[in-house]
Structure formats: C-alpha cells, structure tokens
Structure 1
Amino acid sequence: MIRNAIPWPNGASCACSITFDMDADSLIHIARPRDGFNRLYPVTMGRYGPTTALPRILETYRRFGLRQSFFIPAWTMEQYPDAVEAILREGHEIGHHGFLHEDPTVISQPEQRYWFEKALEVHTRMSGTRPVGYRAPVYNVTQGTIELLIEHGFRYDSSLMADDIPYLMRTGAGELYEVPPHWGNDDWPAFAHYEEIGYMMPVRSPSTGMAAFFEEFEAAYEAGGLWMPVWHPFLTGRLARWRLVEKFLEDILENRRVWFAPLKEIVEHVDSVRLKGGAVRIEQLPYYDRPQVLSSRAS
C-alpha cells in the first residue's frame, strides 16, 4: 500500500478527527417547508442530537481528553444555544454548515451568498470568532461556494472527495485546503431512516454499521493517513452505537499511535508541512467551465 507522504505530529501513524454534523431538526424544516414544523416525530428525532446525544458525546471526549470538530447550521445554533455553549466550553471547533441546511446547488448564487453571510454573522455573534472551516449540506459545493469561502478567509472546506488526505485547491480567487470526506465514512448510509427527506436506508445493527468505520480506520492507519468519520448526533449518538464508539476509542488510544485533533489544527499542520517543502497535493479549480455534453447525435 502506498503510504501518505504527510508526517503527523509526535510520530503518529494516523491523524484522526471525528466530525459531527449537528443538524438537529433543521432537516425537516428545509425538506418540508410547508408543514415540517408540525411533523413532531422528525422534529423530536432531530432534537435528540443536541439535547440527549451531545452531552453523552462531550462526556466521552472529556474522559479521553479529545477536542474535535462540529459543523452546525446557524439556525440550529440559534435554536440550541446551550449546546453551542457546551461545545465551545470544552474547546471543540464549530464549523460553518449553512443556515438552515440549504443545498447550495438548488439556490441561486445571490441566495447562497445571503444565507452564507447570514450564517457567518450568527457564528461570529455566538462564538466570538469567525469559523475557519466549512462543510456543505449534503456535501453539495459549487464553484461559487469555493469562491465565497476564499473571499471570507476560510482555511478549509470538508465536502469534496478527491483524495484520502488533505490537499490544496487553487482557483483564480485564491487557495483553500480540502479535508476530504467520503460516503463510506458517513453514518447516513448505515443508520438514516428518514422518509420525510427521501432517505429510507435499511438500518443496520450497531455492530454491523459501526464495523464499516472501524475498518476504514484500519486502512487509514496502515496507510499513515487520515481517519475522519462524518457522524450525526441523532444517529451515531444513540446509546448502543455510541457504546461501541467508546470501546473503540479506548482501544486505539491505548494501543495505537494516533493523533486526534480538530480539523482546523490538522489543516494548520498540513499547511506547515507544505511551507517547509513537504509533499501536499494541489488541485486546480474549476474543473470545468461549461457543461460537458454530447455535441451531436450519431447518424
């Protein structure tokens, strides 16, 4: 197996960052704008994240001495200020995740700018600092999204999937790091059963569903790479699933050479490696400047 060329701090064999997208009940409101407010089952399913799962997650992090990254829609931050305060008090990172979990690919660029900047105002007001990281709802980044991030001084995006480890994206507007997720490290396929927003996954048992993430870790560890699950408190924060996560964390922290850090610190490290002449891959954007279509029919 080809090993990652980026050296991690303190001789670690793998960089790790558990990222949570804490969407709460923003999902039902954006998916069903007419009557989502009155659909109590999906509202309560989402509320489970900041009210019940989050204290459990934070207690685990506290016990293991971990600081990690959360991506939260600004609307969710306003609805659950106690959850935001608890995350910040423990030293975790909060990244930009839209305003009401709106999909950038289905709104105009002026609309995207409006909601992006409105969310940025909420982040700044509630946390006292501007976020440096962004993850698009549904991972749906456009070229306009990248340009907004660069314009507003963001250090990284975590939505695109061109590598296993962080890489640099260059555009005519500037530079931005990408910390790539992928669906195999996302808990949505394993656990999301949510008819109201168009997902009816066959929910797996905790041991079967979580095994996929643990196998992803083993591959990342062997390659000296990055393990970055993308989880949601109302899915992976459920009792039986989180019980397995706790056991897994205890084992790797005791027996493996791992470096756990918020994404912003991982990006800072990668940037320092690049500035010293280390091997960090660069991608030039945009990939395409027009639709790629068949120009004529075969006769």
Structure 2
Amino acid sequence: MIRTPIKWPNGARCACAISFDIDADSLIHISRPKDGHDRLYPISMGKYGPTVAIPRILETYRKFGLKQSFFAPGWVVEQYPDAMEMILKDGHEIGHHGYLHEDPTDHGPAEQRAWFERAMDSHKRVIGNNPRGYRAPVYNVNQTVIDLLIEHEFLYDSSLMADDIPYQMKTDQGSLVELPVHWGTDDWPTFAHYAEIDYMMPIVGPSHGLQGFWEEFEAQYTAGGFWLAIWHPFLTGRLARWQQVETWLEGVLNRGDVWFAPLHEIAAHVRAEAAKDSTAVRLEELPYYTRPVLF
C-alpha cells in the first residue's frame, strides 16, 4: 500500500494525469541521422501524431472539460507550430522534452546544456511557451539534467521512478517536485513497433493493450494515490485505441472523486502540501552517488 497518501484537492480520492510525449518524427532523425530524412514510413508514422491524433485528443478533452499535459522536443515545436498553438489555445501545458529526442546521458555537461537550452529557445521563440516541467527522452536523467532544471527554475520533473506518488528531490542548488513514471503506464512497451529504432513490440488489440493501464489506475484509486499515463499520440492516439480511452475516461469521471489536472498543477499542489507539513511529501536528497560504486 501507499505509505502516506497526499491530500488531494476538493476531497478527491486520486490524482490523475494523461501526459502525451509528442515525439512526432524526431525519432527517426535522431536514430538514423544519415538517411532518416528519406525513410518515409517512419516519418509518416510520426507525423500522424501532431497532424491527426492531436486534434482528436483535444476534441475529447474539450468534451470532458479536461486540461492536461503534453511534452514536445524543441525540434517538434519548430516543425509543428500549429499543433502546439492548438494545445496552448485550449489551456493545456507543453513541457520540455529535449531538442531532437536526444538521450541526455550520451553527452557531456556542455553538450547537455546546449541541447537543453536550444529546446528552451524553441519553446519561447516559436510559441511563447516557458516550460515548467520536463520529461527526459527515454527517461534518461543524470545529475547534470537535474542541475539544469533547478538552474532554469523548473517546477517539476517527470522522468524518474522512485515512488508510487509524487515526491520532492533536493540538491545543494535547490529542489524539484518529481511526478514519477513507470513502464506499466507507458504505451511504448504495449504498442511500439518500430524496427528503425530497435523496438519491435508485438502489437495487441486496443482493449487488451490498454487493460494494464486501467488496472494500474484501480490500484492507485483504491490507495488514494497518483495515476499518470505516459502516451504517444502516434500510438495511443490511433482511432480504435483512443475510442477505448474515451469510453474509460467517461466512466472514471462519472465517479466524481477523481482529480484530473495538468502536471504543473499537481506539482504545485504537492509543493504547497509540503510547505504546510514537511512530513506530507517524501524528500529524496541528490545526488544518489558521486562516483562509480566499483572503484
């Protein structure tokens, strides 16, 4: 069971969020830099996200009056500004997700800063967005990333897996709220079939593929915890899958005691609860280690 559930607003039993990582076709360009520009199948698969799935997702959110979170690489912001404007116009959040979905841990500190700040510039210059939250490409965070987030006054990260519920991370430089993820609520293992980046998951039917997400929700709902879906528009935004999501959403919202909110609102609530009671939110001190443990 969850140790000490955070008190959610308005007596809600569970806090929930659906977050979409809008990778679009950035994946093929970063994974196949020499010829990715001429691989039309994966480009088209990625483009489905901002051009077809995002309007469908936003229509559902308008139907239910939901505001939620999206994460977009800076390059995707530049390539698909109309989709980004649609998201922001409807009052949703767009967070930082690297520049070209590059793995931060593949680079040294100077390179990481360059990629990170290039993405920040894309958000500000193209759509006037100043991200408050961050999700690392492939969840790969190291201490340099945490330091950059604190330096740039981010409110939260959503890449790590140390708890079932939100917690705080503290360094000598400052603190962040962590809104934890895990692979059980990520659609990549369920639906990704992408040979060019070495992911060949067995594709399953929508009801079977999404069943695990609903089971994860019920466990969090029973425990009074936090349920976070990490989805991709070109995967779960496909028609049959999204119809399943819409049906599930309607049933969950009819319960009347579930709080759906964008991640920045959940993080702000967590920080406020911690300020009122230092024992209400677990604190992790970073860095975990300062040198390899075998030496």
Q: TM-score when scaled to structure 1? A: 0.96
Q: Which residue of 1 aligns with 2:139?
A: 139
SS of residue in 2 equivalent to 1:94: strand
Contact 2:213–2:229 (8 Å) recurs in 1: yes
Of all paired residues, the percent bearing the same amino acid is: 66
Contact 1:4–1:223 (8 Å) recurs in 2: no
Letter paired with 2:237? G
Letter paired with 2:168? L
The change in CA–CA distance for 1:4 and 1:61 in structure 2 (over 3 A counts) is farther
Q: Which residue of 1 aligns with 2:103?
A: 103
Tell me, in whole angstroms, the C-alpha distance in 2 between the residues paired with 1:129 and 1:181: 24
SS of residue in 1 equivalent to 2:176: strand
Deviation at 1:256, TM superposition (A): 4.4
Q: Which residue of 2 aligns with 1:30?
A: 30
Letter paired with 1:64? F
Tell me, in whole angstroms, the C-alpha distance in 1 between the residues paired with 2:224 and 2:98: 32
**Structure 1 stretch displaced more, 20-29 or 201-210:** 201-210
Tell me, in whole angstroms, the C-alpha distance in 1 between the residues paired with 2:112 and 2:22: 20
Contact 1:4–1:224 (8 Å) recurs in 2: no
Q: Which residue of 2 aligns with 1:195?
A: 195
**Structure 1 stretch displaced more, 249-258 or 42-51:** 249-258
Q: TM-score when scaled to structure 2? A: 0.98
Tell me, in whole angstroms, the C-alpha distance in 1 between the residues paired with 2:159 and 2:3: 23
User: Residue deviations 1:170-224, cap 9 Å, x none?
Assistant: 1122111110000000000000000100100111111111001010100010111
Q: Which residue of 1 aligns with 2:282?
A: 281
Letter paired with 2:216? E
Q: Which residue of 2 aligns with 1:169?
A: 169
Deviation at 1:3, TM superposition (A): 5.4
Q: Which residue of 1 aligns with 2:117?
A: 117
Q: Which residue of 2 aligns with 1:46?
A: 46
Unpaired segments of 5 or more residues in structure 2? Answer: none
Letter paired with 1:203? I
Please give the residue correspondences for 1:232-247 in structure 2 after superposition, counting only pairs within 5 Å.
232-247=232-247
Deviation at 1:128, TM superposition (A): 2.2
Letter paired with 1:281? R
Contact 1:6–1:279 (8 Å) recurs in 2: yes
Tell me, in whole angstroms, the C-alpha distance in 1 between the residues paired with 2:182 and 2:126: 30
Unpaired segments of 5 or more residues in structure 1? Answer: none
Please give the residue correspondences for 1:1-299 in structure 2 after superposition, counting only pairs within 5 Å.
1-2=1-2, 4-277=4-277, 279-293=280-294
SS of residue in 2 equivalent to 1:202: coil
Tell me, in whole angstroms, the C-alpha distance in 2 between the residues paired with 1:122 and 1:22: 15
Contact 1:104–1:141 (8 Å) recurs in 2: yes
Tell me, in whole angstroms, the C-alpha distance in 2 between the residues paired with 1:190 and 1:227: 18
RMSD between superposed Cα atoms in Å: 1.0
SS of residue in 1 equivalent to 2:254: helix
Tell me, in whole angstroms, the C-alpha distance in 1 between the residues paired with 2:127 and 2:172: 31
Contact 1:68–1:263 (8 Å) recurs in 2: yes
The change in CA–CA distance for 1:257 and 1:4 in structure 2 (over 3 A counts) is farther
